[in-house]
Amino acid sequence: MMTVAGFREGTPASDILLFIQRNGSATVKELEEALGVSTTAVREQLTHLQNQSLIAASKVRQGPGRPLYRYTLTPKAQGLFPKGYDVLINLLLEAILEHEGPETLAKLLSVVGSRLAEQYDLPLANAALRERLMALAFAMNRQGTPINIVENPEGGWVVSEYACPYYEVAQEHDSVCSMERTMLEAAIGHKVQITKRMVEGHNGCQFVIKPSESPKRPNPSKDVA
């Protein structure tokens, strides 16, 4: 049975979202009949779901009298339903690997990694590495990826990511980890090395940024994020 992430199965809110998902839209009366609850109960749940930006109401006029409202799911609500992106991506990567070979796959993922970095729009020109890392930490945390960046007492920096958006895919194709490394390199303009991966049992992925030949060392052992 289809489930809704964040909602317990069989609750009125979950039932409403599932009904609208199956039918495209619904009125209060349709929901009342489908769920077997009162109009007041339906309206309370609809108000709650609207406050969470999960459903939207559109007015439908049917002659004179009080207008009718139909409720539809928002893109945010659509994101709560199960997706098969990991299966699709795995199949795509397997097809590229089979037909084009590992070198082509590596090149494509490198290009994708560089383009992923563009979404952060970090300051590169005339910006110190520390400043770029602070901007990266802020941007990634804002997008929902927990990240911690700490200066290494021996020089350089350690970047730890505590959520992997490609976890299911990385278990089959570790090349996506290199894509994430490329993204970090493109974002901060500095070489990055992978030292730990979540798919290997660690609680996060760890990347090390080694000091340059002539580093300008900031104050030691200070957390950036």
Q: What is the CATH number of the domain that holds 45?
A: 1.10.10.10
pLDDT bracket for residue 153 (50, 70, 90): confident
Exposure string for 55-79, b = 16+ CB within 10 A, e = fewer:
bbeeeeeeeeeeeeebbebeeebee
Question: Would you place residue 214 in the very low, low, confident or very high pLDDT band (cuts 50, 70, 90)?
Answer: very low
- pLDDT higher than threshold 70 for residue 158: yes
- Give the per-residue pLDDT at 124: 66
| Residue 215, pLDDT score | 38
Residues 109 and 61 reside in one and the same domain: no
Against a cut of 0.85, is the pTM above it? no
Q: Is 90 found in the same domain as 51?
A: no
Do 128 and 23 fall into the same domain?
no
Report CA-CA distances (Å) from 153 to 8, 60, 188, 219. Answer: 47, 65, 20, 9
Whichever domain contains 174, its CATH number is 3.90.1520.10
Helix (H) or strand (E) run with residue 178 in it: helix 175-188
pLDDT higher than 80, residue 16: yes
Q: Are residue 50 and residue 143 in the same domain, yes or no?
A: no
Taking residues 148-154, what's their average pLDDT? 88
Tell whether 219 is covered by a domain. Answer: no
Mean pLDDT of 43-63: 89
Q: How many independent structural domains does the chain possess?
A: 2
pLDDT of amino acid 70: 94
* Domain membership of residue 115 as a residue range: 85-209
Whether residues 44 and 96 fall in one domain: no
- pLDDT mean over 96-122: 90
**Whether residues 34 and 92 fall in one domain:** no
Cα–Cα distance measured from residue 131 to residue 10, given in angstroms and rounded to the nearest whole number: 49
Q: Which residue, of 78, 104, 126, is where some domain finishes?
A: 78
Tell me whether residue 69 is in a domain: yes
pLDDT of the residue at 64: 72
What's the rounded mean pLDDT across residues 94-119?
Answer: 92
Report pLDDT for 40. 93
Q: Say what the alpha-carbon torsion angle 167, 171, 175, 178 is, to the nearest 10 degrees.
A: 40
The residue among 53, 78, 103 that closes a domain is 78
- Residue 168 is predicted with a pLDDT of 83
Q: What mean pLDDT value characterizes the chain? A: 85
C-alpha distances in Å from residue 136, one per residue of 114, 189, 214: 14, 12, 23
